[in-house]
Amino acid sequence: MMSTIERRITDAKIEIRNNDDGTVGLRGYAAVFDSVAHGEVVRRSAFSRTIDQRDNARLLINHDGVPLASVKAGTMTLSVDDRGLLVDAPNLDPKNPTVQELVSAMNRGVEPIETLPGLVVSNGPRRNAAPR
């Protein structure tokens, strides 16, 4: 049986930085408003409920694995600006293998969009979700 892998790529810049305290920071857009990706257009109101209710959104890479950060843990914040949904995870654990992989790619000069093809902010499975 063949499986399908879905990748959502934004044209937004994602920054990864080494902090003075040894941690790694990630900041960038998980979604860009009013741009078409895979036939979908994300509207400005798409994340209003998540932001307003401070849902426990988690930072995942490629829709998979153990979250690198989350709103509930206080290791990530979400905000909306004119461009899209901004994710800021200022203190990622540098011992985490996924974080090490991202930093390694950046140090080699690989463009962030190639290193984070599946940057996902998730608050769990969508059930009976209304169209975005």
pLDDT in tens, 16-74: 888 999 999 999 888 888 887 667 888 888 888 888 888 788 888 767 788 899 999 99
- pLDDT grade for 103, boundaries at 50, 70 and 90: confident
C-alpha 2/C-alpha 59 separation (Å) is 27
Tell me the pTM.
0.74
Q: Which has more confidence, 131 or 62? A: 62
Share the mean pLDDT of the chain.
Answer: 76
Q: Which has more confidence, 91 or 127? A: 91
Average pLDDT for 119-129: 50
